[in-house]
Structure 1
Amino acid sequence: MTDQFDYVVVGGGSAGAAVASRLSEDPDVTVCLLEAGPSDVGDRNILELNRWMALLESGYDWDYLIEPQENGNSFMRHARARVLGGCSSHNSCIAFWAPAEDLDEWESMGLTGWGAKDVFPLYKRLETNDGPGEHHGRSGPVTIRSVPPKDPCGVALLEACAQQGIPTTEFNSGTTVTHGANWFQINAREDGTRSSSSVSYLHPVLDRPNLEIRTNAWARKVTFDGTRATGVQYLDEDQIHTRSVSARREVVLSTGAIDTPKLLMLSGIGPAEHLREFGIDVLVDSPGVGSTLQDHPEGVISWDAKQPMVTDSTQWWEIGIFTQTEEGLDRPDLMFHYGSVPFDMHTVRQGYPTSENAFCLTPNVTRARSNGTVRLRSRDFRDKPAVDPKYFTHPHDMRVMTEGIKLARKIVEQPAMREWAGAELFPGPDVRTDDEIADYISRTHNTVYHPAASVPMGTEADKPLDARLRVKGVHGLRVADASAMPFLVTVNPNITTMAIGEKCSDMLKEDNA
C-alpha cells in the first residue's frame, strides 16, 4: 500500500467525493480519499432513502450536542454523517439549486468565479434531472427527480396553499421562488436509492486504479513542512495506530462545517489565543476559523390527522413552501417543509401531546442572522468540538419563525384541509400571542441540519479562505465543503455543496496544470 499520492482528500462526503472522483478522471493523477466512517456500499440502512430518519443519533451519526443556548433549545443536537457520502448519505435528499441572488451576492463580495453564471453550469454538469427546461443537466452523475404527488394529504396541502394565496410554483426553474409551493425535487433514483455523492461519484469508479478510498480513517491533523501542507496523519481502522499519507500537490479538507474548523485548529490554523489555550503551536493566526457558523433554525407545528396518513413515502418530507414576511425581498426569508409524520423529537419532553397519525409544517429561517462558533474542547482529536449555534441571538430570526407558525395555521385552516386537519397537537390552540409562540419555539425548535460558513471564503483579512478555496497563510491546502460558503444559501444546501466539490476539482486542475 502506497502512502504518497498527488492529492489527499480528507472526508468522503458531499463535496469530497466529487473532488476525488473528478481529480482521478485523469489516469496520471493519483488520489487518496480518507473517510472516518464506514463504506456505504451494500448498506441498505444508508442506501434506502426512506430510512433516513433512523440514521439520526445512530452509529452513522457524529451526533454533536450543542452548547447551552441562552435563547434556544439546549437539548438540540447536530447530526453529521459518519459514513462514505457524508451528509448526502444521511439526509432527506431535498435537492435545490441555490438562488442566483445568493451566488451573485457571493461574487459581489469579491469572490470571482462564484456568481450564478459560474455555478449554474456546475449544477447542470452534476445532475441528471427530470425537470423541464434546457438549463437542466441530463447526463450528470447525480440523479435528481420530482417527487410524485402520491400523498393525498400533501395534495390537499398544496390546494390549501393556493387558497391562502401561495401558488403552486416550479422549483429549480432557474428563477428564484419568493412566494410559492410544490413537491420537492430529490436526489434519489426511481427505486428509492439515494443518489448521494458516494453513490453518484464513487460507486461507479471503485475499481479505478489511481483512486484509493480508505474508510474508517479518522484524520488527526494536517502535516506541514514550514507552511506547505505535505499530508495528513490519521488513526488507522484498528483504532490504535497512527498512519501518515503524503500529498505531492495538495491536501483538500472536506470534513464539513463542524469538523473542518476543528481539523484546521488541531493543525495550528485558527484563533491564536484559542489554540494556545490547549497548547497547540500556532501556524497561522486565523481568527475566522470556526467563528461564523450559520444554520437554518426550524420550528414545528403539528396536527392530528382525521384520515390515515401514508405508510410509504420517498422520504416523508415531500413538499416545500416559500414566502416572505416583509415586502421587497429578492429571496424568501421563510420556508416550510411538510412532513407526513409528527416530528415530535423536541415536543414530547415538554409535555405536548403527540400522535403516530399526524402531519406537520416546519417553518425555518432561510437567512438567519444569528452566527455561532465551533471551538475545540481539547487538543485530543477524539474529543467532540464545542458547537454553539447561538440560536435566536438576533431578533430577526425569532420574528420570522413566529410569523411562520401563524402562517402555517392560516394554511391549514383553509377549506382544502378540512378533511385532514384534526386537533392541533403542538404548540396547541391556546398558544396565540407572539410572546407565547416565541416561548414555545425557544423550547422546542430543531434545525434543518444545515451548518455552514464556519471557514468562509472572503477578501477580508479575517476570512480563512480566498476565492479559490485556498487556506490563507499556507500553501497546498484547500477547503471544499459547506464551511467555505461566505454565507449559507437560502435553500437546502446539499447540491450546492456538491457543486463546491465540482468547482474545487476544476480549480485544482487549473492551478496544478
Structure 2
Amino acid sequence: MSTAFGNFDYVIVGAGSAGCVLANRLTEDPSVTVLLIEAGGKDDWIWIRIPVGLYYILGNSRTDWCYSTEPEPGLNGRTLAVARGRTLGGSSSINGMVYIRGQARDFDVWRQAGNVGWSWEDVLPYFKKSEDHINGADEAHGAGGPLRVEGPRMRWKVLDALRDAAQQRGVPHSDDFNRGNNEGCGYVDLTQRRATRWSASRGFLRPAARRPNLTVLTEAMVERVEIEQGRATGVTFRQGGGPARFARADAEVIMAGGAYGSPQLLQVSGIGPADLLRSHGITVKVDLPGVGENLQDHLNARFVQRLARGDTMNTRFNSLYLKALMGVEYALLRRGPMTSGSPPLAGFLKSDPSQEVPDLQFLAGTVSYERLGERPHDFPAIAGGICNMRPRSRGHVRIKSKASSDHPAIVHNYLMDPYDQALAVKSVRIMRDIFRAPAMQPYRPQEYMPGAAVQSDEQLLDYVRRTGSTAFHPVGTCKMGDDAMAVVDARLRVRGVGGFRVVDASIMPNLVSGNSNAATIMIAEKAADMIRQDAKSQMGRAA
C-alpha cells in the first residue's frame, strides 16, 4: 500500500536531459502543475561543473547508474561499463559536452518511415529554440535559448596537424557540424559557458525551479507506473528508502528515463513483451513486444598514435609543474586543458564515395591510456575512436526482476551484423591512412594501438572485438513508429495506454549520425509543444 503524495497535471519520471527540458517548458504555463522525480541526487558536486572532472564522475555511483552489459557475443563475451547519468541533468551532467545534432538525412529517414513531423525541416526550429550559440543566431543556429553552446577554449598543434592530415586524405576542414551535412574535420562545439559544463539541469531546470508550479524530488526511485482501465494515473515511488507514496497525474505521466531506464520501468509496470513479463510474475497490462528491443549504440574502434614530440595532455599530466600550471590556468583564465572533457577534434567522413552522407565519425584528443580511468601514458600521443554512425546490429534491454531498483539485462549485440564487422575493419584502415598523411609526419607517429603487427582483416576485426568501446549513445528501445515493434506513435504516446508518453533517446527509431544529447534535448522541446497542443485540443473537445 502507498500513501498519497499529491495531484499534479504532469508527472515526469527522470530529471535527465529530456526531463529538465520538459519541466521548464511545461511550467511556463502557470496554470499547469508538474512533479519531476529523479532517482539520483543534486548536481552540486564541483567535478560536474569542471569539464575535466569527467574522469572523476564516470563510474562513480554518486553520479552514474554504473550499468554494465551482459557478456557481448560480438566482443568475445566481454562486458562493458555503460555510463548513464544518475543526478539532476542526467547524462548531460556526466557526458563529454559535445554538441552535435546529427545530419539532416537522419531525421528525414525518420519521416520517411511514417513519423510525421520529424524531418530535418520539422526539427531544426527546435534545435534553434534551445540554443544560445556563442556566435549568435543565423539560419542554422539560435541565440538566447537555455542551452549555451560555445567553441573549445584550447587547441592543440598536434590536433591541428591531424585536421590537416584529414584534409590531405579528402576530408575538408569544418568549423560547424550542425548545419545538416557533417562532412569535414574540425573542433567540436561544446555545451559550456565560460569553460564550465552547461547541462540541461543548469540551462533548463534551475531557472524553472523557482516557479511555484514545479516540484522536484531527488533520491526518489519510481517503482512503477500505475495503469487503471487502460490509462496511466500516476506513479508509485519511494524517496530515500522511505515508505511507498503515490503521485497522481491528472493529465499525463511522462517517462524520461533514457534508453535503459524507460523500457525497464515500462516492463515492471506491465507494459512490454508478455512472455518476459509473465516470467517475472508481472501482470500484463499491455503486450508491446518492442519495449526494450531495437537497442542501438555507436562502437568505437580505438586508436593510439605515439608521437616523437609534441605538447599533449599526456606530457602535461605526467609533469608535476605542468599539471599545477593547468590548475592555475583554469582558475585564473578559464582556459587550458582542464576545459576539455571529450576529445575535441572530430571528423565525419564517408567510408565509400557511394555514401550519400558521411557514415563514419572519429573523435581525437591528446590523452591516452590503457583503460578509461587509468593514468595516462608517459609519452605524447593522439588517441580516440572511430565508429560506424549507422550500425545495423540491434540489441535489447530486458528486466531481470520485477524490482525497478535492479539493473536490467543490457545486450547491445555490437558487431553481430556482418556489415558492421566489415565497416569496423575498414574504419581502422582509414584512420591509419590519415595518420600517414604528410601533415602528421613532423611528429613521426607510431601506431601503439592496434599496433603494426595487426594487419589482416581477421586480425583487425579481432582487435576491435577485444578493445572496442561504447561511445555512450544508446537509443531506440521505445522506438517511435507505426509498425508492430513500435512503442510510441509520432506524438510519443505509448501505444495502448492513455495519458502516457515516453520522451527521451529511447524513442529514436534509428541512431543519429553523431553524439546523441543534442537530439535528445530537441526531442523534449518538440514533445513539450505536442503535449501542450494535445491538452488544448482535449479541452476544446470537452467544451
Same structural fold, with TM-score higher than 0.5 when normalized by the shorter chain: yes
* Residue aligning to 1:371: 394
How far apart in 2 are the matches of 1:365 and 1:377? 30
* Residue aligning to 2:49: 47
Secondary structure of 2:198's counterpart equals coil
Q: Displacement, 1:418?
A: 2.5
Q: How has the CA–CA distance of structure 1 residues 441 and 355 changed in structure 2, closer, same or farther, with 3 Å as cutoff? A: farther
Q: Displacement, 1:355?
A: 4.1
Q: Displacement, 1:170?
A: 3.2
* Residue aligning to 1:144: 149
Choose from 232, 235, 250 the match for 1:232. 235
How far apart in 1 are the matches of 2:180 and 2:520? 20
Secondary structure of 1:104's counterpart equals helix
Are the aligned partners of 1:338 and 1:360 in contact in 2 as well (CA < 8 Å)? yes
RMSD: 1.8
Q: Displacement, 1:356?
A: 5.9
Are the aligned partners of 2:221 and 2:238 in contact in 1 as well (CA < 8 Å)? yes
Matched ranges for 1:50-89 at <5 A: 50-59=52-61, 60-72=63-75, 74-89=78-93
Choose from 270, 275, 278 the match for 2:277. 275
Q: Displacement, 1:437?
A: 0.8
Secondary structure of 1:359's counterpart equals strand
Q: Displacement, 1:416?
A: 2.0
* Residue aligning to 2:251: 249
How far apart in 1 are the matches of 2:139 and 2:513? 24
Q: Partner letter of residue 317 of structure 1?
A: P
Q: Partner letter of residue 140 of structure 1?
A: G
Are the aligned partners of 1:450 and 1:493 in contact in 2 as well (CA < 8 Å)? yes
- Where in structure 2 are there 5+ consecutive unaligned residues? 317-336, 537-543
Choose from 202, 209, 213 the match for 2:216. 213
* Residue aligning to 1:358: 381
Q: Partner letter of residue 279 of structure 2?
A: E
Are the aligned partners of 2:187 and 2:345 in contact in 1 as well (CA < 8 Å)? yes
* Residue aligning to 1:286: 288
Q: Any idea what the Cα deviations from partners look like across 1:133-174, whole Å, max 9, x if unmatched?
A: 332101110011122452121111111112222110232452
- Asked if 1:409 corresponds to 2:413, the answer is no
Q: How has the CA–CA distance of structure 1 residues 326 and 415 changed in structure 2, closer, same or farther, with 3 Å as cutoff? A: closer
Q: Any idea what the Cα deviations from partners look like across 1:39-95, whole Å, max 9, x if unmatched?
A: 11x321212222112222112111111111222151312111111101111100111
- Where in structure 1 are there 5+ consecutive unaligned residues? none
The answer to which of 124-133 and 432-441 deviates more is: 124-133
The answer to which of 180-189 and 156-165 deviates more is: 156-165
* Residue aligning to 1:385: 408
The answer to which of 499-508 and 336-345 deviates more is: 336-345
Are the aligned partners of 2:343 and 2:384 in contact in 1 as well (CA < 8 Å)? no
Are the aligned partners of 1:148 and 1:183 in contact in 2 as well (CA < 8 Å)? no
Q: Partner letter of residue 189 of structure 2?
A: Q
How far apart in 2 are the matches of 1:71 and 1:461? 27
Are the aligned partners of 2:5 and 2:246 in contact in 1 as well (CA < 8 Å)? no
Q: Any idea what the Cα deviations from partners look like across 1:444-490, whole Å, max 9, x if unmatched?
A: 10010000001001011331111100000010000000000111111
Q: Partner letter of residue 436 of structure 1?
A: Q
Secondary structure of 2:17's counterpart equals coil
Q: Partner letter of residue 325 of structure 1?
A: S
How far apart in 2 are the matches of 1:134 and 1:372? 37
Secondary structure of 1:200's counterpart equals helix
Q: Any idea what the Cα deviations from partners look like across 1:208-251, whole Å, max 9, x if unmatched?
A: 111111011111100122111111111212x1422211111000
Are the aligned partners of 1:111 and 1:458 in contact in 2 as well (CA < 8 Å)? yes
Q: How has the CA–CA distance of structure 1 residues 284 and 496 changed in structure 2, closer, same or farther, with 3 Å as cutoff? A: same
Please state which structure has a larger fraction of its residues in helix.
Answer: 2
Secondary structure of 1:472's counterpart equals coil
* Residue aligning to 1:332: 358
Q: Partner letter of residue 176 of structure 1?
A: N
Residue-pair matches, total? 505
Secondary structure of 1:252's counterpart equals strand
* Residue aligning to 1:104: 108
* Residue aligning to 2:171: 166
Q: Displacement, 1:128?
A: 0.8
* Residue aligning to 1:156: 161
Secondary structure of 1:332's counterpart equals coil
How far apart in 2 are the matches of 1:328 and 1:32? 49
Are the aligned partners of 1:131 and 1:146 in contact in 2 as well (CA < 8 Å)? no
- Asked if 1:90 corresponds to 2:94, the answer is yes
* Residue aligning to 1:441: 464
Q: Displacement, 1:184?
A: 0.4
Identity rate of aligned residues, in percent?
A: 36
How far apart in 2 are the matches of 1:56 and 1:510? 38
The answer to which of 415-424 and 503-512 deviates more is: 415-424
* Residue aligning to 2:503: 480
Q: Any idea what the Cα deviations from partners look like across 1:396-427, whole Å, max 9, x if unmatched?
A: 11211211211111111223222334432211
Are the aligned partners of 1:304 and 1:355 in contact in 2 as well (CA < 8 Å)? no
The answer to which of 366-375 and 408-417 deviates more is: 408-417
Q: Partner letter of residue 300 of structure 1?
A: R
- Asked if 1:187 corresponds to 2:187, the answer is no
The answer to which of 330-339 and 140-149 deviates more is: 140-149
Secondary structure of 2:42's counterpart equals coil
Are the aligned partners of 2:350 and 2:359 in contact in 1 as well (CA < 8 Å)? yes
How far apart in 1 are the matches of 2:177 and 2:433? 26
Are the aligned partners of 1:459 and 1:466 in contact in 2 as well (CA < 8 Å)? yes
How far apart in 2 are the matches of 1:367 and 1:170? 23
Are the aligned partners of 1:149 and 1:183 in contact in 2 as well (CA < 8 Å)? no
How far apart in 2 are the matches of 1:423 and 1:264? 49
Secondary structure of 2:150's counterpart equals strand
How far apart in 2 are the matches of 1:421 and 1:13? 43
Are the aligned partners of 1:316 and 1:340 in contact in 2 as well (CA < 8 Å)? no
* Residue aligning to 2:535: 512
The TM-score, its normalising length taken from structure 2, stands at: 0.90
Q: Displacement, 1:507?
A: 0.8
Q: How has the CA–CA distance of structure 1 residues 316 and 461 changed in structure 2, closer, same or farther, with 3 Å as cutoff? A: closer
Q: Displacement, 1:327?
A: 2.8
How far apart in 2 are the matches of 1:490 and 1:316? 17
The answer to which of 415-424 and 250-259 deviates more is: 415-424
How far apart in 2 are the matches of 1:145 and 1:384? 36
Q: Partner letter of residue 29 of structure 1?
A: V
How far apart in 2 are the matches of 1:315 and 1:481? 23
